[in-house]
Structure 1
Amino acid sequence: MSHRYFFLCSLLASSLSLHGISAAVDYQATNYDPNTPGGIRFTNEIGVPYTKQIMGTINDFIWTTVFQQNNPSDRKPVDSVNLYITEIEGYEGITWGNNNINLSSSFLEGYQGDVIWGFTSLLYHEMTHVFQWNGEGQTPEGLVEGVADYTKLRANYVSSDFAKPGDGDKWDQGYDFTARFLEYCDGIVPDFVAKLNAMMKFAFDVKYFEDLTGKPVDQLWQEYKAKYGH
Protein backbone atom coordinates (compact mmCIF):
# COMPACT_ATOMS: atom_id res chain seq x y z
CA MET A 1 0.00 0.00 0.00
CA SER A 2 1.45 3.39 -0.96
CA HIS A 3 2.01 6.09 1.65
CA ARG A 4 -0.36 8.40 -0.26
CA TYR A 5 -3.14 5.79 -0.31
CA PHE A 6 -2.63 5.06 3.38
CA PHE A 7 -2.82 8.80 4.14
CA LEU A 8 -6.09 9.18 2.20
CA CYS A 9 -7.62 6.18 3.97
CA SER A 10 -6.57 7.56 7.34
CA LEU A 11 -7.99 10.97 6.47
CA LEU A 12 -11.31 9.42 5.42
CA ALA A 13 -11.51 7.36 8.59
CA SER A 14 -10.81 10.46 10.67
CA SER A 15 -13.52 12.39 8.86
CA LEU A 16 -16.06 9.63 9.41
CA SER A 17 -15.22 9.42 13.09
CA LEU A 18 -15.69 13.15 13.53
CA HIS A 19 -18.81 13.67 11.43
CA GLY A 20 -20.60 10.35 11.81
CA ILE A 21 -19.77 9.45 15.38
CA SER A 22 -23.24 8.04 16.15
CA ALA A 23 -23.54 6.05 12.92
CA ALA A 24 -23.34 2.75 14.82
CA VAL A 25 -26.43 3.58 16.89
CA ASP A 26 -29.80 2.62 15.40
CA TYR A 27 -32.66 5.09 15.94
CA GLN A 28 -36.29 4.07 15.74
CA ALA A 29 -39.43 6.18 16.19
CA THR A 30 -42.97 4.81 16.43
CA ASN A 31 -46.24 6.72 16.78
CA TYR A 32 -48.55 4.60 18.94
CA ASP A 33 -51.22 7.34 19.05
CA PRO A 34 -51.62 8.21 15.35
CA ASN A 35 -55.32 9.07 15.67
CA THR A 36 -55.15 11.31 18.74
CA PRO A 37 -54.67 15.10 18.42
CA GLY A 38 -51.09 14.81 19.71
CA GLY A 39 -50.31 11.85 17.48
CA ILE A 40 -51.72 13.65 14.46
CA ARG A 41 -49.63 16.70 15.30
CA PHE A 42 -46.53 14.53 15.49
CA THR A 43 -47.25 13.08 12.03
CA ASN A 44 -48.09 16.41 10.41
CA GLU A 45 -45.59 18.77 12.05
CA ILE A 46 -42.63 16.61 13.18
CA GLY A 47 -42.55 13.19 11.53
CA VAL A 48 -40.40 10.09 11.83
CA PRO A 49 -37.63 11.20 9.38
CA TYR A 50 -36.93 14.40 11.35
CA THR A 51 -37.10 12.48 14.63
CA LYS A 52 -34.50 9.90 13.61
CA GLN A 53 -32.22 12.58 12.15
CA ILE A 54 -32.35 14.78 15.26
CA MET A 55 -31.79 11.77 17.53
CA GLY A 56 -28.45 11.24 15.78
CA THR A 57 -27.57 14.92 16.07
CA ILE A 58 -28.38 14.93 19.78
CA ASN A 59 -26.44 11.71 20.33
CA ASP A 60 -23.36 13.30 18.74
CA PHE A 61 -23.79 16.44 20.86
CA ILE A 62 -24.00 14.41 24.06
CA TRP A 63 -20.92 12.35 23.28
CA THR A 64 -18.69 15.09 21.87
CA THR A 65 -19.77 18.27 23.67
CA VAL A 66 -21.44 17.41 26.97
CA PHE A 67 -19.58 14.25 28.02
CA GLN A 68 -16.57 14.57 25.68
CA GLN A 69 -16.45 10.83 25.12
CA ASN A 70 -14.50 10.77 21.87
CA ASN A 71 -13.09 7.39 22.89
CA PRO A 72 -15.87 4.80 22.37
CA SER A 73 -14.69 2.83 25.41
CA ASP A 74 -15.73 5.74 27.64
CA ARG A 75 -19.36 5.65 26.46
CA LYS A 76 -22.33 3.81 27.84
CA PRO A 77 -22.79 0.82 25.50
CA VAL A 78 -25.98 1.60 23.58
CA ASP A 79 -26.65 0.05 20.17
CA SER A 80 -30.14 1.46 19.61
CA VAL A 81 -32.56 4.08 20.91
CA ASN A 82 -36.31 3.58 20.56
CA LEU A 83 -38.71 6.50 20.72
CA TYR A 84 -42.44 5.98 21.21
CA ILE A 85 -45.16 8.62 20.89
CA THR A 86 -47.79 7.50 23.37
CA GLU A 87 -49.94 8.73 26.23
CA ILE A 88 -48.08 9.06 29.53
CA GLU A 89 -50.01 10.02 32.63
CA GLY A 90 -48.31 12.89 34.44
CA TYR A 91 -45.14 13.09 32.31
CA GLU A 92 -43.99 14.94 29.21
CA GLY A 93 -41.42 12.25 28.60
CA ILE A 94 -39.81 9.31 30.33
CA THR A 95 -36.78 7.12 29.66
CA TRP A 96 -37.00 3.47 30.63
CA GLY A 97 -35.33 0.11 30.12
CA ASN A 98 -31.92 1.64 29.32
CA ASN A 99 -32.66 2.77 25.74
CA ASN A 100 -36.38 3.47 25.39
CA ILE A 101 -38.05 6.88 25.44
CA ASN A 102 -41.77 7.60 25.69
CA LEU A 103 -42.89 11.11 24.69
CA SER A 104 -46.39 12.18 25.61
CA SER A 105 -48.88 12.72 22.82
CA SER A 106 -50.78 15.01 25.20
CA PHE A 107 -47.66 17.16 25.56
CA LEU A 108 -47.51 17.54 21.79
CA GLU A 109 -51.23 18.29 21.60
CA GLY A 110 -51.08 21.09 24.14
CA TYR A 111 -47.69 22.59 23.27
CA GLN A 112 -47.95 26.30 22.55
CA GLY A 113 -45.61 27.62 19.87
CA ASP A 114 -43.16 25.79 17.63
CA VAL A 115 -43.84 22.16 18.45
CA ILE A 116 -40.69 21.00 16.65
CA TRP A 117 -38.62 23.19 18.98
CA GLY A 118 -40.43 21.91 22.07
CA PHE A 119 -40.15 18.31 20.91
CA THR A 120 -36.42 18.70 20.22
CA SER A 121 -35.78 20.35 23.58
CA LEU A 122 -37.47 17.47 25.37
CA LEU A 123 -35.44 14.98 23.33
CA TYR A 124 -32.16 16.59 24.43
CA HIS A 125 -33.20 15.90 28.02
CA GLU A 126 -34.48 12.36 27.55
CA MET A 127 -31.61 11.19 25.34
CA THR A 128 -29.14 12.37 27.96
CA HIS A 129 -30.71 9.81 30.31
CA VAL A 130 -29.96 7.10 27.76
CA PHE A 131 -26.24 7.95 27.56
CA GLN A 132 -25.31 9.36 30.98
CA TRP A 133 -23.62 7.42 33.78
CA ASN A 134 -25.59 7.39 37.04
CA GLY A 135 -23.29 5.57 39.44
CA GLU A 136 -25.19 2.32 38.78
CA GLY A 137 -28.24 3.89 40.41
CA GLN A 138 -26.40 5.59 43.28
CA THR A 139 -26.43 9.14 41.86
CA PRO A 140 -29.16 11.34 43.44
CA GLU A 141 -32.18 11.73 41.17
CA GLY A 142 -31.89 15.52 41.34
CA LEU A 143 -28.37 15.39 39.92
CA VAL A 144 -29.39 12.89 37.22
CA GLU A 145 -32.19 15.21 36.11
CA GLY A 146 -29.93 18.25 36.42
CA VAL A 147 -27.38 16.76 34.03
CA ALA A 148 -30.18 16.07 31.53
CA ASP A 149 -31.37 19.68 31.71
CA TYR A 150 -27.75 20.86 31.52
CA THR A 151 -27.62 19.24 28.07
CA LYS A 152 -30.62 21.35 27.02
CA LEU A 153 -28.87 24.42 28.40
CA ARG A 154 -25.65 23.71 26.51
CA ALA A 155 -27.63 23.13 23.33
CA ASN A 156 -29.51 26.41 23.79
CA TYR A 157 -32.85 24.62 23.85
CA VAL A 158 -34.27 26.15 27.01
CA SER A 159 -37.47 28.18 27.27
CA SER A 160 -37.93 31.58 28.90
CA ASP A 161 -39.16 30.01 32.15
CA PHE A 162 -35.97 27.96 32.59
CA ALA A 163 -34.25 28.73 35.92
CA LYS A 164 -31.98 31.76 35.95
CA PRO A 165 -28.44 31.65 37.38
CA GLY A 166 -28.65 31.61 41.17
CA ASP A 167 -32.19 30.22 41.36
CA GLY A 168 -33.04 27.26 43.55
CA ASP A 169 -32.99 26.09 47.18
CA LYS A 170 -30.38 23.31 47.06
CA TRP A 171 -27.76 21.99 44.66
CA ASP A 172 -29.58 18.71 43.98
CA GLN A 173 -33.04 20.23 43.60
CA GLY A 174 -33.01 18.84 40.09
CA TYR A 175 -33.84 19.82 36.53
CA ASP A 176 -33.13 23.46 35.57
CA PHE A 177 -32.07 24.50 39.09
CA THR A 178 -29.30 21.91 39.23
CA ALA A 179 -28.45 22.53 35.57
CA ARG A 180 -27.66 26.16 36.37
CA PHE A 181 -25.48 25.05 39.29
CA LEU A 182 -23.60 22.64 37.03
CA GLU A 183 -23.11 25.50 34.57
CA TYR A 184 -21.52 27.47 37.42
CA CYS A 185 -19.24 24.52 38.28
CA ASP A 186 -18.21 24.36 34.63
CA GLY A 187 -17.06 27.95 34.97
CA ILE A 188 -14.81 26.97 37.89
CA VAL A 189 -13.41 23.78 36.37
CA PRO A 190 -13.56 23.53 32.57
CA ASP A 191 -15.48 20.45 31.41
CA PHE A 192 -16.71 19.85 34.96
CA VAL A 193 -19.86 17.99 33.88
CA ALA A 194 -17.93 15.72 31.52
CA LYS A 195 -15.46 14.89 34.29
CA LEU A 196 -18.21 14.34 36.85
CA ASN A 197 -20.11 12.05 34.49
CA ALA A 198 -16.98 9.95 33.95
CA MET A 199 -16.52 9.60 37.71
CA MET A 200 -20.11 8.34 38.06
CA LYS A 201 -19.60 5.32 35.82
CA PHE A 202 -19.69 2.78 38.64
CA ALA A 203 -20.53 4.72 41.81
CA PHE A 204 -21.38 8.11 43.25
CA ASP A 205 -19.96 10.08 46.14
CA VAL A 206 -20.81 13.69 46.88
CA LYS A 207 -17.08 14.14 47.48
CA TYR A 208 -16.62 14.06 43.68
CA PHE A 209 -17.47 17.77 43.70
CA GLU A 210 -14.62 18.45 46.12
CA ASP A 211 -12.26 16.16 44.22
CA LEU A 212 -12.86 18.22 41.06
CA THR A 213 -13.04 21.75 42.50
CA GLY A 214 -11.22 21.61 45.83
CA LYS A 215 -14.42 22.69 47.62
CA PRO A 216 -17.26 20.71 49.24
CA VAL A 217 -20.54 20.87 47.34
CA ASP A 218 -22.28 22.84 50.11
CA GLN A 219 -19.59 25.53 49.94
CA LEU A 220 -19.88 25.61 46.16
CA TRP A 221 -23.63 26.08 46.48
CA GLN A 222 -23.24 28.93 49.00
CA GLU A 223 -20.72 30.69 46.78
CA TYR A 224 -22.95 30.15 43.76
CA LYS A 225 -25.92 31.74 45.53
CA ALA A 226 -23.80 34.62 46.76
CA LYS A 227 -22.44 35.32 43.28
CA TYR A 228 -25.93 35.99 42.00
CA GLY A 229 -27.16 37.85 45.08
CA HIS A 230 -29.41 35.15 46.47
Structure 2
Amino acid sequence: MARSPHIFLSSLLLAASILEGTLAAKIIVTNNASTSPGGIRFDREIGAPFTIATVKSINDFIWKLFRQNSDAERKHVPVLNVVVKHLDDGALAETGGDNIYVNDWGIRSFGNARFDFTALMYHETTHIFQWSGRGTAPGGLTEGIADYVVMKSKYFVAEGYTKPGEGSRWDEGYGVTARFLEYCDGLRAGFTVDLNNKMREVYRDEYFRDLLGKPLEQVWKEYKAKYGRS
Protein backbone atom coordinates (compact mmCIF):
# COMPACT_ATOMS: atom_id res chain seq x y z
CA MET A 1 0.00 0.00 0.00
CA ALA A 2 1.44 3.38 -1.02
CA ARG A 3 2.13 5.89 1.75
CA SER A 4 0.36 9.25 1.64
CA PRO A 5 2.78 12.02 0.57
CA HIS A 6 1.45 14.08 3.47
CA ILE A 7 2.33 11.35 5.96
CA PHE A 8 5.78 10.96 4.36
CA LEU A 9 6.43 14.71 4.55
CA SER A 10 5.29 14.83 8.18
CA SER A 11 7.67 11.99 9.01
CA LEU A 12 10.58 13.85 7.44
CA LEU A 13 9.78 17.03 9.34
CA LEU A 14 9.50 15.11 12.61
CA ALA A 15 12.83 13.38 11.97
CA ALA A 16 14.49 16.71 11.19
CA SER A 17 13.06 18.20 14.36
CA ILE A 18 14.35 15.33 16.48
CA LEU A 19 17.79 15.50 14.82
CA GLU A 20 18.04 19.24 15.42
CA GLY A 21 17.12 18.74 19.06
CA THR A 22 19.90 16.20 19.54
CA LEU A 23 22.44 18.71 18.21
CA ALA A 24 21.58 21.35 20.82
CA ALA A 25 24.03 21.66 23.68
CA LYS A 26 23.50 19.62 26.81
CA ILE A 27 23.75 21.98 29.79
CA ILE A 28 25.44 20.74 32.98
CA VAL A 29 25.51 22.96 36.08
CA THR A 30 27.96 22.41 38.93
CA ASN A 31 28.28 24.45 42.10
CA ASN A 32 31.81 24.05 43.42
CA ALA A 33 31.32 26.82 45.99
CA SER A 34 28.20 25.51 47.71
CA THR A 35 29.38 26.52 51.19
CA SER A 36 30.41 30.09 50.30
CA PRO A 37 27.93 33.01 50.60
CA GLY A 38 27.75 33.33 46.82
CA GLY A 39 27.39 29.60 46.29
CA ILE A 40 24.64 29.40 48.90
CA ARG A 41 22.83 32.30 47.23
CA PHE A 42 23.14 30.54 43.86
CA ASP A 43 21.41 27.44 45.22
CA ARG A 44 18.71 29.42 47.02
CA GLU A 45 17.85 32.13 44.48
CA ILE A 46 19.02 30.86 41.07
CA GLY A 47 19.57 27.12 41.03
CA ALA A 48 20.52 24.55 38.42
CA PRO A 49 17.06 24.09 36.80
CA PHE A 50 16.73 27.84 36.21
CA THR A 51 20.28 28.02 34.84
CA ILE A 52 19.69 25.16 32.39
CA ALA A 53 16.42 26.65 31.10
CA THR A 54 17.97 30.12 30.85
CA VAL A 55 21.08 29.04 28.94
CA LYS A 56 19.01 26.96 26.51
CA SER A 57 16.76 29.96 25.87
CA ILE A 58 19.80 32.20 25.34
CA ASN A 59 21.30 29.63 22.97
CA ASP A 60 18.14 29.82 20.83
CA PHE A 61 18.19 33.63 21.03
CA ILE A 62 21.78 33.74 19.76
CA TRP A 63 21.07 31.40 16.85
CA LYS A 64 18.10 33.53 15.80
CA LEU A 65 19.97 36.83 16.22
CA PHE A 66 22.96 35.56 14.23
CA ARG A 67 20.59 34.15 11.58
CA GLN A 68 22.11 30.70 11.95
CA ASN A 69 19.11 28.66 10.87
CA SER A 70 20.78 25.36 10.11
CA ASP A 71 23.19 23.10 11.94
CA ALA A 72 25.81 23.73 9.24
CA GLU A 73 25.83 27.44 10.14
CA ARG A 74 26.11 26.93 13.90
CA LYS A 75 29.01 26.15 16.19
CA HIS A 76 28.37 22.64 17.47
CA VAL A 77 28.69 22.47 21.25
CA PRO A 78 27.81 18.99 22.52
CA VAL A 79 28.09 19.86 26.23
CA LEU A 80 28.14 23.28 27.86
CA ASN A 81 29.23 23.38 31.50
CA VAL A 82 28.23 26.19 33.84
CA VAL A 83 30.44 26.05 36.93
CA VAL A 84 30.06 28.23 40.02
CA LYS A 85 33.45 28.58 41.68
CA HIS A 86 35.88 31.07 43.18
CA LEU A 87 37.87 32.89 40.50
CA ASP A 88 41.19 34.15 41.80
CA ASP A 89 41.50 36.77 39.03
CA GLY A 90 38.43 38.61 40.30
CA ALA A 91 36.45 38.30 37.05
CA LEU A 92 32.68 38.18 37.40
CA ALA A 93 32.67 35.27 34.96
CA GLU A 94 34.81 33.85 32.18
CA THR A 95 34.81 31.12 29.58
CA GLY A 96 37.27 28.41 28.67
CA GLY A 97 36.51 25.88 25.97
CA ASP A 98 32.82 25.06 26.25
CA ASN A 99 32.72 26.03 29.92
CA ILE A 100 31.32 29.09 31.67
CA TYR A 101 32.86 29.82 35.07
CA VAL A 102 30.85 32.11 37.36
CA ASN A 103 32.57 33.73 40.32
CA ASP A 104 30.77 32.94 43.57
CA TRP A 105 31.84 36.35 44.88
CA GLY A 106 30.03 38.00 41.98
CA ILE A 107 26.77 36.20 42.76
CA ARG A 108 27.00 37.50 46.29
CA SER A 109 27.04 41.08 44.96
CA PHE A 110 24.03 40.73 42.61
CA GLY A 111 21.04 42.99 43.17
CA ASN A 112 18.21 40.99 41.60
CA ALA A 113 19.92 37.60 41.53
CA ARG A 114 18.05 36.01 38.62
CA PHE A 115 17.98 39.16 36.47
CA ASP A 116 21.68 39.93 36.94
CA PHE A 117 22.64 36.29 36.47
CA THR A 118 20.65 36.07 33.23
CA ALA A 119 22.24 39.23 31.84
CA LEU A 120 25.65 37.75 32.64
CA MET A 121 24.70 34.49 30.93
CA TYR A 122 23.77 36.36 27.74
CA HIS A 123 27.31 37.72 27.56
CA GLU A 124 29.12 34.51 28.48
CA THR A 125 26.93 32.19 26.40
CA THR A 126 27.64 34.38 23.37
CA HIS A 127 31.33 33.60 23.83
CA ILE A 128 30.50 29.92 23.56
CA PHE A 129 28.53 30.20 20.31
CA GLN A 130 30.07 33.18 18.48
CA TRP A 131 32.71 32.87 15.79
CA SER A 132 36.15 34.29 16.53
CA GLY A 133 38.10 33.48 13.39
CA ARG A 134 39.68 30.53 15.21
CA GLY A 135 41.23 32.97 17.66
CA THR A 136 42.36 35.55 15.09
CA ALA A 137 39.69 38.14 15.98
CA PRO A 138 40.74 40.88 18.44
CA GLY A 139 39.67 40.01 21.97
CA GLY A 140 37.99 43.40 22.24
CA LEU A 141 35.81 42.59 19.23
CA THR A 142 34.57 39.29 20.65
CA GLU A 143 33.87 41.02 23.97
CA GLY A 144 32.02 43.76 22.13
CA ILE A 145 29.88 41.26 20.23
CA ALA A 146 29.03 39.54 23.51
CA ASP A 147 27.91 42.88 24.97
CA TYR A 148 26.04 43.62 21.73
CA VAL A 149 23.96 40.47 22.27
CA VAL A 150 23.13 41.62 25.81
CA MET A 151 22.04 44.98 24.36
CA LYS A 152 19.65 43.15 22.05
CA SER A 153 18.09 41.26 24.95
CA LYS A 154 15.50 42.41 27.46
CA TYR A 155 18.15 42.18 30.18
CA PHE A 156 20.09 45.23 29.01
CA VAL A 157 20.26 48.10 31.50
CA ALA A 158 21.18 51.38 29.77
CA GLU A 159 21.73 53.32 32.99
CA GLY A 160 25.45 53.62 33.64
CA TYR A 161 26.34 51.81 30.39
CA THR A 162 28.82 53.13 27.82
CA LYS A 163 27.43 56.00 25.75
CA PRO A 164 27.74 56.15 21.95
CA GLY A 165 31.04 57.68 20.85
CA GLU A 166 32.97 56.86 24.02
CA GLY A 167 36.28 55.04 24.00
CA SER A 168 39.72 55.41 22.46
CA ARG A 169 39.86 52.32 20.20
CA TRP A 170 37.28 50.50 18.14
CA ASP A 171 38.40 47.18 19.65
CA GLU A 172 38.54 48.45 23.23
CA GLY A 173 35.90 45.86 24.02
CA TYR A 174 32.64 45.60 25.96
CA GLY A 175 30.47 48.74 25.77
CA VAL A 176 32.88 50.77 23.62
CA THR A 177 32.96 48.16 20.86
CA ALA A 178 29.29 47.23 21.26
CA ARG A 179 28.27 50.86 20.68
CA PHE A 180 30.54 51.02 17.63
CA LEU A 181 28.94 47.87 16.23
CA GLU A 182 25.53 49.41 16.88
CA TYR A 183 26.62 52.41 14.79
CA CYS A 184 27.82 50.09 12.01
CA ASP A 185 24.39 48.43 12.04
CA GLY A 186 22.97 51.86 11.28
CA LEU A 187 25.16 52.05 8.19
CA ARG A 188 24.20 48.57 7.05
CA ALA A 189 21.32 46.63 8.58
CA GLY A 190 22.62 43.37 10.04
CA PHE A 191 26.28 44.41 9.91
CA THR A 192 27.25 42.83 13.25
CA VAL A 193 25.53 39.58 12.40
CA ASP A 194 27.22 39.47 8.99
CA LEU A 195 30.59 40.28 10.57
CA ASN A 196 30.24 37.47 13.10
CA ASN A 197 29.31 34.96 10.42
CA LYS A 198 32.24 36.00 8.22
CA MET A 199 34.62 35.23 11.10
CA ARG A 200 34.01 31.49 11.09
CA GLU A 201 37.51 30.65 9.83
CA VAL A 202 39.52 33.88 10.12
CA TYR A 203 39.13 37.55 11.03
CA ARG A 204 40.33 40.36 8.74
CA ASP A 205 39.97 44.14 9.07
CA GLU A 206 39.00 44.09 5.39
CA TYR A 207 35.58 42.72 6.35
CA PHE A 208 34.59 46.28 7.29
CA ARG A 209 35.35 47.45 3.75
CA ASP A 210 33.57 44.41 2.32
CA LEU A 211 30.42 45.15 4.30
CA LEU A 212 30.46 48.96 4.54
CA GLY A 213 32.50 50.05 1.54
CA LYS A 214 34.94 51.92 3.79
CA PRO A 215 38.15 50.92 5.61
CA LEU A 216 37.85 50.25 9.33
CA GLU A 217 39.93 53.30 10.30
CA GLN A 218 37.61 55.62 8.36
CA VAL A 219 34.48 54.10 9.88
CA TRP A 220 35.87 54.58 13.39
CA LYS A 221 36.91 58.18 12.64
CA GLU A 222 33.46 59.03 11.29
CA TYR A 223 31.82 57.35 14.27
CA LYS A 224 33.82 59.46 16.72
CA ALA A 225 33.10 62.63 14.74
CA LYS A 226 29.37 61.94 14.74
CA TYR A 227 29.27 62.10 18.51
CA GLY A 228 31.78 64.93 18.81
CA ARG A 229 34.42 62.82 20.51
CA SER A 230 38.05 62.78 19.44
TM (norm. structure 1) is 0.91
5+ residue gaps, structure 1, are none
Q: Give the corresponding residue for 1:142.
A: 140
Equivalent residues of 1:140, 1:172 under 8 A apart: yes
| Letter aligned with residue 103 of structure 1 | V
Q: Shift of the alpha carbon at 1:183?
A: 1.1
**Quick one: distance in 1 between partners of 2:10 and 2:194?**
34
Q: Shift of the alpha carbon at 1:227?
A: 2.3
Equivalent residues of 1:22, 1:59 under 8 A apart: no
1:219 and 2:218 matched: yes
3-state DSSP of counterpart to 2:197: helix
Equivalent residues of 2:23, 2:76 under 8 A apart: no
3-state DSSP of counterpart to 2:87: coil
Count of matched residue pairs: 224
**Quick one: distance in 1 between partners of 2:107 and 2:124?**
15
After TM superposition, list the pairs within 5 Å mapping 1:156-175 onto structure 2. Answer: 156-159=154-157, 160-175=159-174
Q: Give the corresponding residue for 1:60.
A: 60
1:4 and 2:2 matched: no
Q: Shift of the alpha carbon at 1:102?
A: 0.3
| Letter aligned with residue 222 of structure 2 | E
Q: Give the corresponding residue for 1:32.
A: 32
Q: Give the corresponding residue for 1:228.
A: 227
**Quick one: distance in 2 between partners of 1:23 and 1:227?**
44
Deviations 1:175-222 (A, max 9, x none): 111011111111211211121112111111111111110011121112
TM (norm. structure 2) is 0.91
Q: Shift of the alpha carbon at 1:11?
A: 6.0
3-state DSSP of counterpart to 1:85: strand
Deviations 1:28-69 (A, max 9, x none): 11111111110111011101000000010000111111x211
3-state DSSP of counterpart to 2:182: helix
Equivalent residues of 1:108, 1:115 under 8 A apart: yes
Identity of aligned pairs, percent? 43
Q: Shift of the alpha carbon at 1:6?
A: 3.4
Deviations 1:101-139 (A, max 9, x none): 10010001112x211111111111111111111111111
Equivalent residues of 1:185, 1:192 under 8 A apart: yes
Q: Shift of the alpha carbon at 1:23?
A: 6.3
5+ residue gaps, structure 2, are none
1:155 and 2:159 matched: no
After TM superposition, list the pairs within 5 Å mapping 1:62-141 onto structure 2. Answer: 62-65=62-65, 67-89=66-88, 90-96=90-96, 98-111=97-110, 113-141=111-139
**Quick one: distance in 1 between partners of 2:69 and 2:22?**
11
Q: Give the corresponding residue for 1:51.
A: 51
Q: Give the corresponding residue for 1:199.
A: 198
